[in-house]
Amino acid sequence: MARVSEIRPDFQPPQEDVTDKPTPGFGYVVFILCLLGGIFAWLSYRAYNAYLVDRQLGYTLALPALLTGAGLILILHAAFFTTYRIDSEKLALKSGLFRGSLPLVRIKEISRKRFNWRVLGWGIGRRGFCNRFTDGVKLITDKESIYVSPTNPQLFMSQLRTLRFSKADRERTGD
């Protein structure tokens, strides 16, 4: 088998880490604020009404409202502090307090998703590190699908493909 350097002597895989910090989509932020803000308001209203009848019950019902408020803050923090870092070995994913790592050799398929429901969170065989609903990238491994929302999906996909294939070629040829 021919080495990459023999086929294309001018080819040099990127040596620097590539870091992308996408800005959250307006629709995503509005959706999170409305959904969790509505749940927080409803729970607060229920806790206040229970407090008027029975103080102990009001305090008990205030706990879910406080937890929902904390969840709102964590999810908004994750939306504004999402980072993807590609180096020669792996793709590091960070969305607020949620972190993940994916070795490049495990990526089997890379595809673009125009609309993405899997924003932040986990499901059976799926994970999401997105901060917007549109212009996402789906990474398929042998075990799961991972959704990301880079600033420039085309550039992100080409960088991943370049590093993934150059690493696979180097491992295969012993470079």
Average pLDDT over residues 7-22: 65
Tell me, what's the pLDDT at 119? Answer: 64
| List of long-range contacts for 62-70, beta carbons under 8 Å, 24+ apart | 65/40, 68/36, 68/39, 68/40, 68/43, 69/40
Residue 130 has which token pair? 């997105």
pLDDT digits (tens, 9 = 90+) for 75-88: 888 889 989 999 88
Tell me, what's the pLDDT at 84? Answer: 92
- CA 86 to CA 40: how far, in whole Å? 37
pLDDT digits (tens, 9 = 90+) for 89-146: 899 998 888 888 889 888 999 999 888 776 665 555 567 788 888 888 999 988 888 8
**Percentage of the chain lying above the pLDDT 90 cut:** 10
Residue 65 has which token pair? 């409202």
1/118: higher pLDDT: 118
Lowest mean pLDDT among 39-48, 91-100, 121-130, 165-174: 165-174
Beta strands across the sheet bearing 120-123: 109-115, 134-140, 145-148, 126-129, 120-123
Q: Residue 74: which pLDDT band, with cuts at 50, 70 and 90? A: confident
pTM given for the model:
0.72
- How high does pLDDT run on average in the chain? 81
Q: Residue 59: which pLDDT band, with cuts at 50, 70 and 90? A: confident
- CA 152 to CA 134: how far, in whole Å? 11
Tell me, what's the pLDDT at 125? Answer: 56
Domain boundaries, the chain: 29-78, 84-173
Q: Residue 164: which pLDDT band, with cuts at 50, 70 and 90? A: confident
Residue carrying structure tokens 């009001």: 58
Tell me, what's the pLDDT at 85? Answer: 92
What fold is seen in the domain 84-173? Answer: PH-domain like (2.30.29)
Q: Residue 170: which pLDDT band, with cuts at 50, 70 and 90? A: low
pLDDT at 7 over 60: no
